[in-house]
Amino acid sequence: MPELPEVETIRRQLERIIVGKKIKSVEIIDFQKKIKPKNLSERLKDLKIERIDRRAKLLIIKLSSGENLLIHLKLTGQLIYQKIKKTNKFTHAIFNFTDGSRLLFNDMRKFGYLVLTDDGGLERVKKEYGVEPLSKEFSLTKFKQVLVNRPNQKIKQLLLDQKYIAGIGNIYSDEALFMAGILPLRPAKSLKEGEIKKLWQAIPAILKKSLKVGGTSSDTYVDAHGQIGGFVPHLKVYGREDEKCRRCGSLIKRIKIGGRSAHYCPRCQR
């Protein structure tokens, strides 16, 4: 699933290449259940792209009508900018611009969605998410409050809970916990002062490292130009089950926590 670095990479690219463009038409292909309103194509026709924002893993396209197009990629969604016509069987929406270029929404699993909403609806959606970990609001005090709110929850699960911290998924929760030397199974209340500070520092650090190289393409993620991200070689634990830890040589383990996978080093993480 694209997480904060992947979605932010796409946001930055789209900000450079489609802001100012006018939508000529929108084609919806076998995706009616995942768009709102049903007449989305008609509502977007002749509108101009004013701005591209992000909240958590959600892309927000500000339109000249004053409305906002919310795009969530979920597990396998992709947004691909093109100047030539080339689709595939997973292309479910095509945004055609008046200059002949276009933006494809591909989604193999079809869990993603496109929703048009006004500013009031956008604010309601934004409030569903917690603090942005790359923002100034993500202070040590704020992070401690998150831990206090869910003292018995396993730290891996808490990092995944979008109501508390926005944009972190399986990849970066695993990598941040490794960087901080904390086992994913530990309850939040068990973390000592020094461990809390290490984890608070590790979260934005690992997100920034991935963002610098365009994110992690461990599955179907590609950026807006169809290119893979460069962070896979830098992964320490995620997706490396039974491989040697790059720090101590122990074998990386994988366990299930609340239905989600967690990768960790049994020696480096306590």
pLDDT at 228: 98
Tokens of residue 201, six digits: 């520092």
Please name the amino acid found at residue 111: F
- What's at 226, amino acid-wise? G
Greatest distance between any 2 Cα atoms in the chain:
58
Q: Do domains 4-126 and 140-264 have the same CATH topology?
A: no
pLDDT of residue 183: 98
For residue 57, indicate whether it is catalytic. Answer: yes
For 250-263, give one letter per residue: b (16+ CB within 10 A) or e.
eebbeeeeeeeebb
Q: List the CATH code of the domain at 4-126.
A: 3.20.190.10
Catalytic residue among 2, 5, 133, 184: 2
Mean pLDDT, range 90-114, rounded to an integer: 97
| 105-133 average pLDDT score | 97
Give the pLDDT score at 1. Answer: 81
pLDDT(5) > 90:
yes
Overall average pLDDT of the 103-108 stretch: 96
CATH code of 140-264, in short, is 1.10.8.50
Return the CA Rg of the chain. Answer: 20
Instruction: Name the catalytic one among 3, 6, 8, 175.
Output: 3
In our burial notation (b when 16+ CB lie closer than 10 A, e otherwise), range 117-156 reads beeeebeebeeebbbbbbeeebeeebbbebbeebeebbbb
Looking at residue 85, its pLDDT comes to: 85
d(CA 200, CA 177): 10
What is the percent of the chain where pLDDT is above 90? Answer: 96
pLDDT at 191 over 90: yes
Read off the pLDDT of residues 197-213 as tens digits, 9 standing for 90 and up.
999 999 999 999 999 99
The pLDDT score that the predictor gives to residue 263 is 98
Averaged pLDDT score across all residues of the chain: 97
- 133 a catalytic residue: no
d(CA 213, CA 208): 9
Nearest residue to 103 via CA among 55, 57, 52: 52
Residue of 55, 57, 62, 240 marked catalytic: 57
pLDDT in tens, 44-99: 999 999 999 999 999 999 999 999 999 999 999 999 999 988 889 999 999 999 99
| Among 43, 126, 197, 260, the one annotated catalytic | 260
Instruction: Flag whether pLDDT at 128 surpasses 90.
Output: yes
CA 249 remoteness from chain centre: 30
Distance CA 199, CA 173 (A): 10
**Distance between CA atoms of residues 231 and 19, nearest Å:** 27
Q: Tell whether the model's pLDDT for residue 104 goes beyond 90.
A: yes
Instruction: Record the tokens describing residue 250, joined without a space.
Output: 């122990």
Q: Where are the domains of the chain?
A: 4-126, 140-264
Lowest mean pLDDT: which of 79-93, 117-131, 142-156, 169-183?
79-93
% of the chain beyond a pLDDT of 70: 100
**Active-site residue flag, 50:** no
Residue 237: count of CB within 10 angstroms of its CB: 26
pLDDT at residue number 115: 98
C-beta separation of 58 from 123 below 8 A: no
At 32 the pLDDT is 86
Asked if residues 81 and 222 have their Cβ atoms less than 8 Å apart, the reply is: no
b/e code 75-111 from CB counts within 10 Å (16+ = b): bbbbbbbbeeeeeeebbbbbbbbeeebbbbbbbbebe
| pLDDT above 90 for 116 | yes
Q: Under the phi-then-psi rule, with left for phi > 0, alpha for psi from -120 to 50, and beta for the rest, what region is 74?
A: left
Question: Model pTM?
Answer: 0.97
Single-letter amino acid code for the residue at 137: E
